Amino acid sequence: MCFPVGYAAVFIVPVLSCRPNEYKTNDGQCCPMCNKGRVVRKDCTVYAGTQCRFCDLGTFMNQPNGLYNCFPCTSCDTGHGLFVKQNCTATTDTVCDVLNGYYCKDLTDSNGCSLTEKHSQCAAGQRIKEPGTSRSDTVCEDCQPGFFSKDGVSCTAWKVAVPHHIICNNTGIILYTVLL
């Protein structure tokens, strides 16, 4: 498949720079760029425009270009807390987002994520002040004096032991207790 783009803008003498919608070939000529989703198959000549080809499956090109290869699509690594939010197309890269229990450490331009971290667990003696989200880590807070937390989730007040007498009958069976 070939897709000549416009007419060839070829200069015989190598040029320093090309116009915005043109690219410079290896031998210094200016040729019309290929559109998104395509790359150069053959540079333009005096007789013909640039020949472009579509990106193969698993590759993409998201800008007008004078490149000879499409970019490989990003894969979303579930082992690192990512899943596919939007599949790769010929003109856009894959967009990854964050699995539950992880948050994003590196957002991409397309509002996707390229790097995640697991949510932190709060330590014993702390509580979860704010649960982690897909964009932020867990916020922990120390328990106030008089409170404790064994699991690092929430703080509980210490129960103060109440002094009391235990009244038993003569076989040692507790009948009732009396607060002092």
Q: Which stretch, 52-60, 71-79, 107-115, 170-178, contacts ligand NAG (CB under 6 A)? A: 170-178
Q: In degrees rounded to 5, what are phi and psi of residue 116? A: -125, 170
Q: Which is nearer to ligand NAG, 39 or 96 (CB)?
A: 96
Q: In degrees rounded to 5, what are phi and psi of residue 97? A: -130, 180
Give the span between the Cα atoms of 161 and 85, in whole angstroms: 55
On the CB side of 101, CA atoms within 13 Å amount to 5
Q: Does 177 interact with ligand NAG (rule: CB under 6 A)?
A: no
User: With CB under 6 A, what is the number of residues at the site for ligand NAG?
Assistant: 7
Asked if 102 and 119 touch (Cβ cutoff 8 Å), the reply is: yes
Give me the least distance between CB of 170 and ligand NAG, in Å please: 5
Q: Which is nearer to ligand NAG, 87 or 154 (CB)?
A: 87
Give me the least distance between CB of 136 and ligand NAG, in Å please: 24
Query: By rule CB under 6 A, what string of x and - marks binding of each residue 81-120 to ligand NAG?
Result: ---x-xx---------------------------------
Q: Among 173, 178, 179, 180, indicate the residue that binds ligand NAG (CB under 6 A).
A: 173
Q: Among 150, 160, 169, 179, indicate the residue that binds ligand NAG (CB under 6 A).
A: 169
Q: Which is nearer to ligand NAG, 86 or 110 (CB)?
A: 86
Q: Which is nearer to ligand NAG, 77 or 141 (CB)?
A: 77
Give me the least distance between CB of 164 and ligand NAG, in Å please: 18
